[in-house]
Every structure is written in structure tokens, then in C-alpha cells.
Amino acid sequence: MARKKKNVDMEPEVSAPIIIDEQNITETLTTNFMPYAMSIIVSRAIPEIDGFKPSHRKLLYTMHKMGLLNSNRTKSANVVGQTMRLNPHGDAAIYETLVRLTTGNEALNHPFIDSKGNFGKVYSRDMAYAASRYTEVKLDSICSEIFSDIDSDSVDFVPNYDNTMKEPTLLPTTFPNILVSSNQGIAAGMASYIASFNLAEVCETTIALIKNKNHDIHSTLPAPDFPTGGELIYNRSQMEAIYETGRGSFKLRAKWRCENNVIEIYEIPYTTSIEAILDKCTDLIKTGKAKEIADMRDETDLSGLKLAIDLKRGVDPEMLMQKLFRSTPLEDTVSCNFNILVGGAPMVLGIRDILDEWIAWRTECVRRRTYFELEKKRERLHLLEGLSKILLDIDKAIAIIRSTEEEREVIPNLMIGFGIDEIQAEYIAEIKLRNINKEYILKRLEELDELRKTIGRLEDILRSKAKLQNIIVTELTAVIKKYRKDRRTEIVHESEIPEFTEEDETPDYPATVFVTESGYFKKITPQSLRMSGEQKLKEGDRMVQVLEVTNRNEIVFITNLCNAYKAKVSDFEDSKASVLGDFLPAQLEMEDDEYPLFTFVPSYTTDSLIFCYENGKVTRVPVSSYETKSNRRKLTGACSDKSPLKGAFHIHDDIELALINSGGRMLLFNTASIAPKTTRSAQGVTVMTLKKGLVVESAATAEELSLKNPRRYRTKTLPAAGAILRPEDSGQMSIE
């Protein structure tokens, strides 16, 4: 097959030009990002003065329209499907919203949805709720306080997203749900977290504020109240800041009891979960920071939440719980940010301001409801006034209707015949034939006096703000009487909380510690020491220090690299003579080729450390220079690095020390002659003069040496060369 000849005359393809539209970044943010951000703030994340986000409101209103307030439960899937007519964000998001509002989930003090089936628990992170096809729901009775005025023009209605039906912009709650139901949300550039309060306390506070604007809110609304209970650690100044500004934080802790050496935790902070607590406790057990715990498990069942902690023998449960409160979410911080939408604008308000806004909004709802009712009564009065005009001559009305040839002339003829308007004439014309009797008409006319009184009363209410607010007070009183619940969260004042330090929680008992030349460490209790035999050591190793301590003591290790490592004796497990012990370089995370030279138990008062160096110098350092305010584990520059260390001594009172050099000379001196240095790494003063090529080989206390004639090795002045060591005084020297 012949190849097709390329058309050389074909014009080259020209690509479309790239158009670069330069735009100022602030203009881009204003035109593109700001509408999106405001949509999230106003339409999704931040609750409004009725206490609901749009997703909550759409869901509850759908259930109300489905007649689920006074009927049997229906499958949750039915509710989710119907709600999509108002909330087109997907069935999963709608169902998650529904779950949180149910009695089964226990996320609210007063749930809005009466549920049947598994809806998970607010205090469990991993407990999954059942699918919507398995669970059943209906509106809880408290929703009658939300929808009682919904058909009385108390709130505005707007078209839904596809303009096929109307939905309310707010729900006319008869109580301040904004504070009763916990709510949180994250928008673009702002967030909201509103803690829940006890319904009865909120209503009583609102009533008190209506009656007295200067009412002390703390006297009737002491603190938040959460559905998961727990203990709120009350600090008056913290709570006042939250009430005043709408921002601040406070602490919640779990409730527990101890029986038969088992701690049972039955209420936890609202902001955490049982899984988060178990995970943190497990970490503490693995790292050896909760040695008092033998076992911990989740025993939550149908009867409610329960975490069980088995204790080891002799453990103080109070001290253990104080440690767990500090180290785990069993005590958690609740950060408040009372950010709500008022008139479509986000505002961070204090409690008083929120209640003032709610009172003003609810007053307007009652005013609109009253005006709606007034208009209905006026319409009814108008109709009955027309009816009263035919009372004396019903036959005339019948005759007018019968004598009228065309239907469209009936209404005009009635209007002319009785001097009534078109609306009244329509009402009269629509009366059934069976009702055209004096008895029926007289009964209708009996309503006239009552209607006039009702209209007068409603007009008086509309003219008086005080009367409008009295209605609110009456409704709040009824809500308290019907839905009051005792507080779940107990208030505990800070002064009532026992203070325990980490040292208090550490069991205190005597022990003996052994340190070997290779860096192995053992802590042995007196009982174990009495029953043990010979100390097990690594081949070629030897014991260099034995110290009597208590389990709460701090212990310091000075190394060949002039570092000091600080630890607690309690950090080490009780050991036995038959094991090698803990390897300190690994335990203390020392550097490569680093090992301990000297160990001491510090007393930060008058104690001193004496360091003797190979070059004949000696330095005295106060033990207080090793004290730190923080929990630092490693101190650099623990001693001088200018010459190798040949001896170190921890002294309470001045003692005599001996230096022996490589030339066979010994020098005895009293530590009182060594002035203390303010710096740990100071080189010290020359105590023993050395000829060229000689070094200090060892140092020891005079008491250890048992010298025959110690006066021979003493001198009146320092530095000195010392005296030749006699055979009867010679022996092996070691650093201790």
C-alpha cells in the first residue's frame, strides 16, 4: 500500500493565546472566599438564638410535618429521606445529625428525639450506631415547647432550596435552648462551643432577669451541667470570666468509687471518650508510670458506663486517681466560646447578653403570635357581626337567595339587603341549610361578647411589653414544672480538691542500692536482701558503691563525660541479688562510651561534693548547685573536664581525704581547707604537687585506709608533695 504524501502546503496549527487576567488578591478574597466563608458561618456551623443549627432545624421541622410528635415511631430512614427535601447534603450527614439528638446517644440533657435501637453513645468513640433502616424515632414530648407557636406566624418562613415548600428560619422555643443544649461547630475563621446548662436553672435565671435586670446570675445558674455527669471543679473567677465574656475554660473530672480493691469509673467528662481514657492509661502502664494498676478494662453495658481498674496490693486508690486525673483525660478542660448568630451576624456573648437577646427575640415571637391570634379573633368577630344582622329576619335572607336568578348575584343582593360587606355575605351564604335556624345563629352570637373581651385583652397585651414578658414567665414556669431534671454534673469547689504531689503518690520504703563498675544498678528491699545470697555480677565487674536510700529519694549519677543524670529511686524496679540489675547507660539514655563514675543521694542544704583530679587538684562544689526547678534529667558540666576524675565524695561534715600518686606518695588533707566553688565545672585548687610524669592514681577517706601513722602524711600547708607511702599503709585504692 502506497504511503500517503504529506501535504507540505498545510498551514501549521496555531494554539489559542493564553489570557492572563491579573487580579488583586484582596479583591479575589472578597469576591470568591468571603461568600463561601459567610455561607459556612450562617448556614452550617454556628447556632442561632433558638439554639439550633440549620441542619437540626430542618430535621426537627420535617419530623413535625410528618406528624411524629403525637404518633408512633417510624424508621429513621423515612425521616432521613423526607429531610432531604429541606437539607440536600446527603443521607449520611442527616442521619449523623439525627443520632446526636436522640435519647439513645445521650449527647443532650433534654434530647429532642425519642429513639429505639442502637444510636451509639456520646462517651464512646468506637461504638458505632446502627444503620437508619434498623432504628426508629419520633419527636420527644419536649418538642411541643418548640413547635407550639410554629403555625401562629411567630417566626418567618422562607422557601427551601428548590422553592417547592416553606421552612422556618428559626424555631419558636419557649425556653432558652441556646444554653440548655450543648452545641459546637467550626466555621471558616471562627468556631463555637456552647456548654450545656441545667434547664430548670436556665429558666429560673431567665425569669429572674425579666423581673430584675440586675439579678446575680451566679445565684441561680452556678455552672454548666453536662449529660455525662462528672465533677466540675468550680473556680469563681474563671466562671465569672466565662459568664461575662463568653470565653474561658474550666475543668471536668470523672466520678469514681472503690470497692474490693477495684476502682469503678462511672461518669466521665463530656469532652472525652472511654477509648481515649483507656489508650492513655495503657500508655502509662506500658511506660511504667502507673505501676499501681494490675488491670484495666471497659465494663460498659446496658446499665451504663463503667471502667474498672484492678489495683495491686497496698495501693492507695485516692492517690492513684489523683495521678490519673493529672495524666489522662479522666480530668479534661472544657474551653467555652459562646459564639452565636444574632440577626445573621456572629457574636461572642456572655450569659447575660445571650439571655437578654433571647428574651428580646422571644418577646417578639409572643408579640407576633398574639397579633396573629388577634387578627383571627377580629376576623371571626367581623363574620359574627354580619350574622347578627340576619338574626331578626332569617326568612328575608332565604327569600333573597331564592329570588336571585343568577348565583353570582347572591352575594351582592345579600350585601344590599342587610347592609353587610362581601366577606360577611360570603360567610352567610355558605351556612348549611340545616344550620339556618335560630338556635344555631343564637349560639354563634353568644360568642360575640367573649370575642370582644378576648380582643380587648389581646390589644392590651400588644400595647404592654411587661404583659408580653409575663406570658414568657408563665411559659417558662410551666416548662420548669414539666421538664425539670436534677443536675447531673456535681459542682466541687477547688478548695475541696485534695492536693497530692507526685512524691505523695510514690510508695516510700527503705532500700539498698548497688552500683557496679560496669554501670549496673540494683535496688533491693531489706526483706529481699536478708533472704538473698551472693550478689550476681557480670564477669570482670565489681561493686563500687552501696547506698542506703528510700524509694522517694532522688539519686544523681556523675559520668566520665562530666554529665550528671538525675533520677528517682522509684524509677527503678525492685530487684534481687540474683540478677545483674538495670544497665544505667541504657536506662538513663547516656551517650556512647559514657558510664557512671560516682553516685550520690543529694541533700540540697549544706552538703558538698569533693572532686579529686589526676592533676592533683581538688574542688568543692555545693550539692545545691545540682538542684533544678524543672524536671531536667541531664545536667552538663557536672564537674571539671580538664583532668580525669580519680575520686568523688559526698560529705555532710568535713572529713580527711587521702591522695596517692604514681610515685608512691600519700597526702592527707582536711576538706575544711578547700573553699567551695560556685561553678560545678570549676578546676579547683592544687592540693598535691606532682613532679613531671607523675599523676594522682587514687583517692580515699582516711577512715577507710586505717593508717598506722596518719600524722606522717599530714602537712601544715597546701599544696604539698606528701610523704612516701610505707609498706604497712599501702593497699588497693578505689573511687567511692
Asked if residue 735 lies in contact with residue 646, where contact means CB atoms within 8 angstroms, the answer is yes
Helix residue ranges, H only, 194-316:
199-211, 217-220, 236-245, 274-286
C-alpha cell at 17: 493565546
What CA–CA distance (Å, rounded) separates 7 from 4?
A: 9
Helix residue ranges, H only, 41-143:
54-65, 76-83, 91-100
Q: Which of 134, 161, 509, 604 is catalytic?
A: 134
DSSP percent split of the chain into helix, strand, coil, nearest 5: 35, 20, 40
Helix residue ranges, H only, 389-542:
394-403, 410-418, 422-429, 438-463, 465-483, 502-505, 526-531
* 443, HSE (Cβ side, Cα atoms, 13 Å): 5
H or E segment to which residue 327 belongs: helix 317-327
CA separation (Å) from 460 to 370, 417, 454, 465, 572? 10, 36, 10, 10, 82
Q: Degrees (nearest 5) of the Cα angle 379, 382, 386? A: 140
483 counts as catalytic = no
Asked if residue 60 lies in contact with residue 111, where contact means CB atoms within 8 angstroms, the answer is no
What CA–CA distance (Å, rounded) separates 661 from 725?
A: 10
Terminal-to-terminal C-alpha distance of the chain: 102
Helix axes 76-83, 91-100, angle to 10 degrees: 120
- The sign one gets for the Cα dihedral 191, 196, 200, 204 is negative
What CA–CA distance (Å, rounded) separates 632 from 643?
A: 26
Q: Degrees (nearest 5) of the Cα angle 305, 311, 314? A: 145
Neighbours of 322 (CB within 10 A): 20
716 exposure class (CB count in 10 Å sphere: 0-12, 13-18, 19+): exposed
What CA–CA distance (Å, rounded) separates 295 from 23?
A: 64
Residue 702 is given by DSSP the state H
Closest C-alpha to 65, from 132, 150, 145: 150
What CA–CA distance (Å, rounded) separates 581 from 543?
A: 12
Beta bridge partners of 184: 193
Asked if residue 519 lies in contact with residue 541, where contact means CB atoms within 8 angstroms, the answer is no
Residue 525 is given by DSSP the state -
Positions annotated as catalytic residues are: 134
